Amino acid sequence: MHLDAILPRFRFVAPTADRRATPAAPLRHTMRRGAIVTLSNRRQRLQVVRGWLWITRDGQPIDIVLGAGDVFDQEPGPRVLMQAHEEAEVLIAAALPHAHNG
């Protein structure tokens, strides 16, 4: 009797794709002038595509104003609000683990 008849046959199958987690595509969000959005309490990156945004964080004495091309990296913590000073478009995506705003 051959060993092949007793033991199940195994074969190595090489992975067809990289199975590491890839970040989700950024969400595109359009805001009307004066609209206010409370951001999720998680690490994320905002990038202004067009318009002007005002960002305020609970407990922080300094507010932030962002224009087209500007980026804001949010860390988990205090509530963050953003308001559009004019019609604005922003991309919201998961931020890199080392991102930090002072």
- Average pLDDT for 3-27: 56
Alpha-carbon gap, residue 83 to 96, rounded angstroms? 24
Domain ranges of the chain: 27-94
pLDDT at 22 over 80: no
pLDDT in tens, 41-71: 889 999 999 999 999 999 989 999 999 999 9
Residue 69's alpha-carbon distances to 15, 16, 32, 63, in angstroms, are 38, 37, 18, 18
Q: Does domain 27-94 have CATH number 2.30.33.40?
A: no
Higher pLDDT, 59 or 9: 59
What is the per-residue pLDDT for 75?
Answer: 87
What is the per-residue pLDDT for 40?
Answer: 85
pLDDT in tens, 69-95: 999 998 888 899 999 999 999 999 986
